[in-house]
Amino acid sequence: MLTTSITDQASLSSVWTSSIIGLVIYVIVVVALWRVFTKAGWPGILAIIPIVNMFILVKVAGYSAWLGLLYFVPIANLILAIIVAVKVGANFGKGGAFSFFLLFLLPFIGYLILGFGDARYAKTA
């Protein structure tokens, strides 16, 4: 007879809940990035592949894809993520506050606004 305690059941349900929420957020970000990549002239299907979409986002920001390797360096990845978010926002005609709060802190909202809104991609120097 297999018995489980209430704490085992609660931890299992919290794992399932967080997994489903994470999957939903991932799908939302993929859909949003698909539209952003398409607006920027890149194939949208690249948004599905987790590591590749990071490098393409660096390219959309106007930097070399080699700079994307900094995402694997612990402190540098946060700084790079902020720089890329601000630069992507600037390329879509958005300000720094929009870029920081909605592209860096809440990307599942910010990239939806860029992808499905009326923002146009214009690569800045």
Convert the pLDDT of each residue in 63-80 to its tens digit: 999 999 999 999 999 999
Range(s) of the domain holding residue 41: 6-116
Query: Is 124 domain-assigned?
Result: no
Which of 22, 41, 117 lies closest to 103, judged by CA? 117
How many domains does the structure of the chain reveal?
1
User: Would you give the DSSP letter of residue 66?
Assistant: G
Residue 125 lies in a domain: no
* Whole-number Å distance between alpha carbons of 64 and 36: 18
pLDDT tens-digit map of 67-115: 999 999 999 999 999 999 999 999 999 999 999 999 999 999 999 999 9
- At residue 3, the pLDDT reads 60
Task: Give the global pTM.
Answer: 0.85
Q: Identify whether 89 is part of a domain.
A: yes
3-state secondary structure of 100: helix
| Mean pLDDT score across all residues of the chain | 91
Contact assessment for residue 47 and residue 53, using Cβ atoms and an 8 Å cutoff: yes
